Amino acid sequence: MNAEVPLVISGRRDCKGIQRAIDAGLDCVSICRRDFAGVSEFSHAVFDALRSKQVDLVTLAGYLSLLHIPDDFRHRVLNIHPALIPAFCGKGMYGHHVHEAVVERGVKISGCTVHFADNQYDHGPVVLQSSVDIPDGATPQDVADLVFEREKIAYPEAIRRVVSGRLSVDGRRTCLTVSGTATANAPALDD
């Protein structure tokens, strides 16, 4: 992918991702939610840092703090969720919590969703969803492993769709123009 990463922001000072980014020579900063009086002040700090680096697109990955998305970043902040929204999403549904709920509920299909972030957890317009079959007897870790493999394909594809200029948003629906034809909620990425 032809992309530049001008800044990595972490909500924690001690996570593996920030160390990997530093090791890769990327500019990194920690902006921790608990250091601010509220979501608004926290969000201002995050987006001021992004503006200072003239960031075009923000990709959230494992970022657990709620952000208030300012108007100038509307439809420019992507998030990935380890389930097929609207199932198994919302406040408190992240990481192993999602996969435990999937196994407990006994669903046969899970997957991941890449969506535009808005001012609610796991709520914005869906860019791409990709499913995985859940085998009988799967553990939460088995589900996590299956979904993670799918996420590694889906997130870059969703980013490509957004930066292509062929993705439009109408309310909560996205539309990808493919060879002159618009496809609502762009097709899922499956094998």
Q: What is the CATH number of the domain that holds 162?
A: 3.40.50.170
- Compute the mean pLDDT over every residue in the chain, rounded to the nearest whole number: 91
Residue 119 lies in a domain: yes
DSSP assignment string, 114-139: EEE--SSTT-SPEEEEEEEE--TT--
- Mean pLDDT of the 51-79 span: 93
**When comparing pLDDT for 64 and 110, which is higher?**
110
pLDDT value of residue 189: 53
Residue 117 lies in a domain: yes
The model's confidence at residue 187, banded by pLDDT at 50, 70 and 90, is very low
Q: How far is Cα 11 from Cα 176, in angstroms, rounded to an integer?
A: 32
Q: Which two tokens stand for residue 181?
A: 């034809």
* pTM (global) more than 0.85: yes
Q: In this structure, how many other beta carbons lie within 10 angstroms of the beta carbon of residue 31?
A: 18
On whether both 86 and 169 belong to a single domain, the answer is yes
Q: How far apart are the first and last CA of the chain?
A: 21
**3-17, 23-37, 111-125, 131-145, range with the lowest pLDDT:** 3-17
On whether both 142 and 94 belong to a single domain, the answer is yes
Nearest-5° Cα angle at 14, 90 to 48: 65
On whether both 91 and 29 belong to a single domain, the answer is no
Catalytic positions are: 81
Q: Which two tokens stand for residue 145?
A: 């492993």
Tell me: pLDDT of 161 over 90. yes
On whether both 88 and 142 belong to a single domain, the answer is yes
Q: Which of 23, 109, 134, 5 is nearest to 61 (CA)?
A: 5
The model's confidence at residue 185, banded by pLDDT at 50, 70 and 90, is low
On whether both 46 and 113 belong to a single domain, the answer is no
Q: How far is Cα 168 from Cα 175, in angstroms, rounded to an integer?
A: 5
On whether both 95 and 8 belong to a single domain, the answer is no
What are 68-114's pLDDT values in tens digits?
999 999 999 999 999 999 999 998 999 999 999 999 999 999 999 99
Alpha-carbon distances of 5 from 50, 89, 166, rounded to whole Å: 11, 28, 22
Largest Cα span, the chain: 49
Q: What is the CA radius of gyration of the chain?
A: 17
Q: Are 188 and 153 in contact (CB under 8 A)?
A: no
On whether both 32 and 97 belong to a single domain, the answer is no
Number of structural domains the chain divides into:
2
pLDDT value of residue 14: 81
On whether both 38 and 86 belong to a single domain, the answer is no
Q: How far is Cα 148 from Cα 179, in angstroms, rounded to an integer?
A: 30
Residue 170, Cβ density class (10 Å: 0-12 exposed, 13-18 middle, ≥19 buried): exposed
| Residue range of the domain that includes 21 | 1-55
